[in-house]
Amino acid sequence: MTYSNLVDFIHQQKSYLCVGLDSDETKIPIHLQKNTNAIIDFNREIIDVTADFCVAYKINTAFYEAYGAKGWEIIEKTLEFIPKTHFKIADAKRGDIGNTSDKYAQTFFQTFDFDAVTVAPYMGKDSIMPFLNYENKWVILLALTSNEGNKDFQHLTLENGQKLFEKVLETSQNWGNENKIMYVIGATNPIELKSIREKYPKHFFLVPGVGAQGGDLNEVSQTAINDNIGLFINASRSILYASNGYDFAEKAKEEAQKMQKEMEKWIEK
């Protein structure tokens, strides 16, 4: 999916919502836990009721890899449920020496046909480039994450006065442009988010941390929207587990629709 395709779809949907499918068998409604295909059934219903209100789905592969071969089958089946119009993100946080990254890229871009994959930049350029060799596929580079532990390394000050996350952003400009690279910037870093947007006005940001982690949708929107919107705001638990009863799909729909309505105001500004 190209940059312009994404922008057009965001305006069509009047939404920049990404639904995170971090589906945990221990948290889904009890009546579904009894089913052999519990997570498959859960994901299908969530996708069915949220597709009209979002533009992307993010599959956190850890929640599926934990089940071994069955988990990869669930990922494959879940991808079949996602409409072809929607952007599909593999939240896999890969990144290794070149030949290994090449296989990771093959896994997510060829075998499973995701549109994007999250990648850790710690090992540098040669660990990222294999992912950038695919046409109309995206790298979503971890820059400043939403978790509390981001202070352990990402905020470290280098000798030149830069923060480590700032160095990641700067250096990665030499690897690819806004048509190939997006950045993970957590909603729990509002001050930094504003300064990053000012410095990188064209890139798409994937913003986790809204909802259950305390990030504010309107604050993020005000701070980080660019001329093309340029955002995917991810919501996982607040949508997936809006209810743990028989009405879980209805409540998930209500939460997704509520977020979409808030986003529509910003798109129409």
Residues designated catalytic: 93
Single out the residue of 56, 57, 74 nearest to residue 65, CA to CA: 74
Contacts for 168 with CB less than 8 Å, ≥ 6 apart:
121, 141, 142, 143
- Helices 248-267, 38-50: inter-axial angle, 10-degree rounding: 40
How many whole angstroms separate alpha carbon 46 and alpha carbon 58? 13
Contacts for 162 with CB less than 8 Å, ≥ 6 apart:
170
**CA dihedral angle for residue 240, residue 243, residue 244, residue 250, rounded to 10 degrees:** -80
Contact between 120 and 93 (Cβ < 8 Å): yes
Contacts for 67 with CB less than 8 Å, ≥ 6 apart:
74
Contact between 23 and 39 (Cβ < 8 Å): yes
Please, what sign has the CA dihedral across residues 59, 62, 67, 69? positive
- In which region does residue 136 sit, left (phi positive, over 0), alpha (psi from -120 to 50) or beta (all else)? left
